[in-house]
Amino acid sequence: MTADTAARDERAMPKGRDLYVILGALMLAMLLAALDQTIVSTALPTIVSDLGGLNHLSWVVTAYLLASTASTPLWGKLGDQYGRKRLFQTSIVIFLIGSALCGLAQGMSELIMFRALQGLGGGGLMVLVVAIVGDVVPPRERGRFQGLFGAVFGVASVCGPLLGGWFVDNLSWRWVFYINVPIGILALIVIAAVLHTAGERERHRIDYLGTLLIVGWAVGLVLMTTWGGTTYDWISPQIIALGAGSVVLIAVWIAVEQRAAEPIMPPRLFASSVFSLSSAISFVVGFAMFGALTFLPIFLQVVHGVSPTLSGVHLLPMMLGMLASSIASGQLISKFGRYKVYPLVGTPIIAAALFLCSRLDEDSSTLSMSLRFALLGFGLGLVMQVLVIAVQNTVSYGDLGSATSGVTFFRQIGGSFGVAVFGSVFSNRLAAHVEDLAKDRMLPPGFDPAAVQGNPKLLDRYPGQVKDGVLHAYAQSIDTVFLWAVPVAAVAFVLTWFLREVPLRATSSAPDYGEGFGGAPTVRSSRHEIERALSELMRRDAGALELYERLGAVSGVNLPAGSMWALCRIAKDGSVRGDVLAERAGVPVEQGRPYVDRLVHAGFVVRHDGTLTITDTGEEAAERLFTARREGLAEHLDGWSPGEHPELADVLARLARASLGDEADGREVHAEPAGGSQRS
């Protein structure tokens, strides 16, 4: 890493208004992709009423989850290889086309197909937004901005069901998809006009076959759980063939991944008990979270007769509980360094909340429902954040990125299965209960439960006995859904007892709230994960003044903090005009001149016609400061062995150089008395 390269990279990054415009567009794009995981839930009853296909309800959610999950690794590596801007624009276009087609869908099969297309674009939005942030934000600031992007997931989790219900009540369910179009076009225009940074290019050997095999076995298993017991008997040739075919595809996938140059998920990861257990628990978390988000709105809208908007309001306790416990657990882990206790507490809370939800009926009060939903969300939040931390804390550096992506991958796959299984159980039980009502002659001829699901007020046309019977049938069916989920959560509780806790690395104490909020999986390299964690840790450093004083003492550079900042800045630029240097420091020229005078008098810098140029002696002094900073950062990587990983050593060198002479520190270090501090 040369000074010229580092300075050129930093100068290429957008500044000021341009940076904030780009970040705003990126946050809009991520919000769109995150919203589409949850916004559909409160609109599902109305969609089924309009398009029919009650048995295919779960696929409206599952198609999006599977497509976004499977495509994420491809988008990430293609972006590295061919440039992120064009790939990001492509993903937005695909997402918008899918959204528009979803809004125009005239049948359930069309909607499911277009949701898959939308998910394909959504996967690109998720992973490329994260990568582009690394291209446009200086390392010292990435932790702060990545925290904002993590908050986007929180906003999407809370607002998704609420917005979905509002669109259904005030416009049409089709606007759940149409709303993406103007917002996406705005993001597309802004990115095209303002984003000019190219980012680094990296060649990859992309695992296309592994991706196709993942899609194959995941779809096969989801179809098996969707059709089993509803469309076909569990022991029918179709279901047996789907199960056997999926097992074969899994075996082929494992064999392919063992030979792939860059596998999507290296099989050696499963040799780690922490990764295997965390993935299994993550699967259960996704199973419970997405299953609940899909079927609770049906319970609320049909059984309790609330509007789609109000059903979104009723779900707020769940989402707020999840956010609160996720943030709190992350903070407590950072402070105390212990993480196993949270899934040990969280998984039984999930199981208890699911059991309590299975006891809800048409007479349950709003307070009773809200407390149960909040308890479920609280339990989910305790577990999600911790699983990523546990895995990152135990795997080798080379597997860090794959392991992080793997845990979130299994959460999304679990969500797909949860929605499919819940949907199958719901359809089976509802059909059985409606059949019992028909046998007891409690239903009029031609009664359609799907029509009631889309418009519960239709029940007002029937006698009270019929209405009560149908509402009870719906309540019993959804209760069974949650009851079936209880043993799944109990299995996760048992698994957490075997989760090994090891002393927390410093990098693992910088949690990623994007993952903690249940966002879609991202494909992150080990380098990206280390850069993200170190950026967050750098953000927690003492103030710039104290940092430079400490580095000066360690490196033997006896200068005021303001002079050291200027020395590092000039060393990175090679030469710079005095007025430009003052502008970067955020101070008047007169205020900064005494610090530069110290450098000139020491022979570190030459001043000629207002231009400041680094000398060999100054270059050597700056290198001592950069080295001290690099060694300080390396202390956060205890156990990663930077000496054994040239890439990791390069990350340290890059971050050390980028974080000194940083414009964000200029004003603070030049706020000393003009004579400068001698404590360094």
Please give the residue that has the higher pLDDT: either 171 or 41. 171
> How much is the average pLDDT of 326-341?
79
- 446: helix, strand or coil: coil
**For residue 282, which of 409, 421, 126, 375 has the smallest C-alpha distance?**
409
Burial of residue 483, with CB atoms counted within 10 A of its CB: 0-12 exposed, 13-18 middle, 19 or more buried: middle
Place of tokens 């022979």: 603
User: Which of 304-318, 367-381, 506-520, 606-620 has the lowest average pLDDT?
Assistant: 506-520
At 378 the three-state DSSP class reads helix
**Cα dihedral 136/141/143/146 (nearest 10):** -40
DSSP string, 377-406: HHHHHHHHHHHHHHHHTTS-GGGHHHHHHH
Q: How far apart are the first and last CA of the chain?
A: 27
Mind listing the pLDDT tens digit for each residue in 34-49?
Answer: 777 677 777 877 787 7
- Cβ–Cβ < 8 Å for 126, 491: no
pLDDT confidence tier of residue 674, bands split at 50, 70 and 90: very low
Mean pLDDT of 262-287: 81
Q: 264, 207 in Cβ contact below 8 A?
A: yes
Give the model's pLDDT for residue 677. 41
pTM above 0.85, yes or no: no
Region 472-488: what's the mean pLDDT?
84
Residues pairing with 425 in the sheet? none
Task: Quick: pLDDT tens for 452-466.
Answer: 655 556 666 767 777
Burial 125-164 (b: 16+ CB within 10 A, else e): bbbbbbbbbbbbbbbbbbbebbeebbbbbbbbbbbbbbbb
What would the mean pLDDT of 229-254 be, rounded to a whole number?
A: 83
Q: What percent of the chain has pLDDT over 90?
A: 3
Of 1-10, 37-46, 51-60, 475-484, give the range with the top mean pLDDT. 475-484
Instruction: Find the mean pLDDT for residues 627-646.
Output: 72
CA distance 444 to 464: 13
Confidence of residue 101 (pLDDT cuts 50, 70, 90): very high
User: Per-residue pLDDT tens for 502-549?
Assistant: 776 655 555 554 454 444 445 555 666 666 666 666 666 656 677 788
Confidence check: pLDDT of 2 > 50: no
Model pLDDT, residue 672: 55
Q: Phi and psi for 543 in degrees, rounded to 5? A: -55, 160
What the block records as the tokens of 155 is 């906003």
Identify which of 442, 376, 385, 65 has the alpha carbon closest to the alpha carbon of residue 219.
Answer: 65
pLDDT at 279: 85
Give pLDDT, residue 156: 75
